[in-house]
Every structure is written in structure tokens, then in C-alpha cells.
Structure 1
Amino acid sequence: MVNPAANGAIPDKYKTVTGGETWLRLKGVRNASSFPLIGDASRNLDSNASWSIKNASGNTGFALAHGNRGVLGYFDGHAASSTQYDFRDALWKVWGSEIDVYYIIPGAAARLVQ
């Protein structure tokens, strides 16, 4: 879960840097059931999976890989079948603002959630 303006970083209020490594600060997460932690991801313009979800119009993103839906895993341990709108709403809650949110249909370019 990332902000394009932050170059792939999580919001400052949720991170700590130790020894040059960025870590999720667990005590910063207040609503674990609405904080996406992992999810389906794909590379732009092919069907290959990706290890990261980058919320940008670049190479990787949240992938609608299961009948126009993707799976998001949340901090509290539950997972949910999600649309691009669910993904957008989850990021807006975490970031606390209406940032631009992108998704990928595998084999196509990243698209902005309208």
C-alpha cells in the first residue's frame, strides 16, 4: 500500500526507520480491520504476479485478477474480495486524504480509479 507522491513509502505516521530499513510501526495502526497490508498485485502490461502493490501509473499495482476483483489482506488477519473502489476507499482511510489510486487488470496498463 503506497502513495505515488511518497515513492512507495507508507505514511509517516505508520512507519519507523531503524538501521536504514523502513518498518511498519504496529502501535500506529488504530483500525486494523480497515488497514490493507497485502493484496493481489500484478505487473503492468503482462499477467505476471508482483511482490509489491505500488499505487502509481507505473509498473505494478493492485490487480483485479479474480473476475474483476482482487483480494486484499488486512492488518487484523482477515481477507476480502475487493473491487478497485474498495481498494481506493481503504487507501483513503489509511492516508487520510483523497489521493489518486490506481489498479491493474492483468495484461493492461494501470488505470486511475474514477
Structure 2
Amino acid sequence: MPRYSKPILLLCATHAFALFSMYGLAYRNGYLKALLRLKDFGPHLLPGSENPILKTYTGIAPLDKLITIAVVLFANITDGSAPHFSLYGFHFGGQLTSIWTVLMIEGYRFGNRGTPLSL
């Protein structure tokens, strides 16, 4: 068994659990269904506003559908109507940036050449 196979399997299992936890919960509590209903059947307005939902961004239907759902999902975080959501989004962005920076630095280290981290 190669040296890196156990950590890779552990990371894949953790990733699968995280995806199941996030999207499984959103599916089980009806959140995804409500998002799709809002996007497909209307009213075609962003939640809590009179602004219409833009449905075409790239011209590629599956990508446009994904972007439209993301816009509806993040609208309340970025519009400033709920400061606690905006603060949470800012906090999350800071954490994401720092984690991405550490991964980039570790990927460039000589000791990590040829490992999955350097990809």
C-alpha cells in the first residue's frame, strides 16, 4: 500500500461525510426544494426585495441554474438587510482565505513535491 493512500482515503471519507452533512440536511429539511420552487415557480424576486432574479449568466443552462440558486442562497448575506448574516459571511471569507493561503504555501514547499498536496 503506497505511503499516501491512507491519508487520501481518510480525506475522501471526510469530504463525503461533509457533503452528506451539508447537502443532506438541506435536502431533508426542505431547503433545497424551497429554493428550486422559488426559482422555478416564482415569485421570481429575490427574497425580501422587489429585484427580479436573473436567470441567464453564461448561456450554459446547467451552469446558469447553479449560479441562480447560489444567487438566491447568498442574497440575504450580501444585501445588507441582515447585518449578522453579512458579518458571518465576512468571517467565513476570512477563514476561507487563510486556509487557501496555507494550502498554496504548503503545495509549493519542496518537501511536498509529488504528493497530493502539491496538486
Q: TM (normalized to structure 2)?
A: 0.22
TM-score (norm 1): 0.22
1 or 2, which has the higher strand percentage?
Answer: 1
Q: Considering only CA atoms, is the larger Rg found in Structure 1 or Structure 2?
A: 2
Q: Which has the higher contact order (CA 8 A, sep 6+)?
A: 1
